Amino acid sequence: MVTGDPPDFDELYASSFTGVAVQLYAYFGDLAEAQDVTQEAFCRAWQRWATVSRYDDPVAWVRKVAWRLAISRWRRIKTAVLHVRRSSEVHAPALDGVRVDVIRALAQLPADQRRAIVLHHLAGLSTSEIAADAGWPTERSARG
């Protein structure tokens, strides 16, 4: 339910961009990519601002779009890397010391667990909000 005046896009952008970008950085481990998809998500929100501004939580919409963009890019990159590996024997050296320990630790987790941890600890979402954001069933709905 919408209450009061819709938020101002500039204010929402200024107050939310960094938080969304940091969440994506923690998940994917690439700050430039995180900032890029966050920017793209805000551009899409701006294009639909008449609708998005009326949502209870416009930042949740932006975050969801950013996650989807990041996952889509990650899948394309993964496919390209697999293609290159299959067609070439040249291997790039491993990057040591580039990522912080937290990012390395998160990278070791399965994707769904990593996403839940990032959304809970960096976005401050509850478990039910994470489930709704990711389209996962809640514990209650899973029990039937």
For 74-125, what is each residue's pLDDT tens digit? 777 777 777 777 775 555 445 455 456 777 788 888 988 888 888 888 788 8
CB-CB contact of 26 with 122 (8 Å) = yes
CB-CB contact of 42 with 59 (8 Å) = no
pTM of the model: 0.60
d(CA 59, CA 73): 21
Q: For the packed helices 9-28 and 31-47, what is the interaxial angle rounded to 10 degrees?
A: 150
